[in-house]
Amino acid sequence: MAKEELEGWTLERRTVIKDFVGRPGTVWLKYSGGERPTKICLGDFKPVARAWGEWVARNVA
């Protein structure tokens, strides 16, 4: 997905993703570069999503 497309997503649409990958009660982290929150702490991910996130962070990013 292109970065420009993601920047246009509403908070409601982003919340669907957060609820899918995050544990209950996960909160958005504030992002200083923009007005919309876009980050979730990797420690707040559900176990399978966290494993994938760690793999991506180590091997792709």
Which tokens is 13 given?
């649409």
Q: For the segment 2-61, what is each residue's pLDDT rounded down to a tens digit?
A: 667 777 788 888 899 899 999 999 998 877 777 777 788 999 999 999 999 999 999 996
pLDDT recorded at residue 2 = 66
| Distance, CA of 50 to CA of 32 (rounded, Å) | 24
Domain segments of the chain: what residues? 3-59
pLDDT recorded at residue 5 = 77
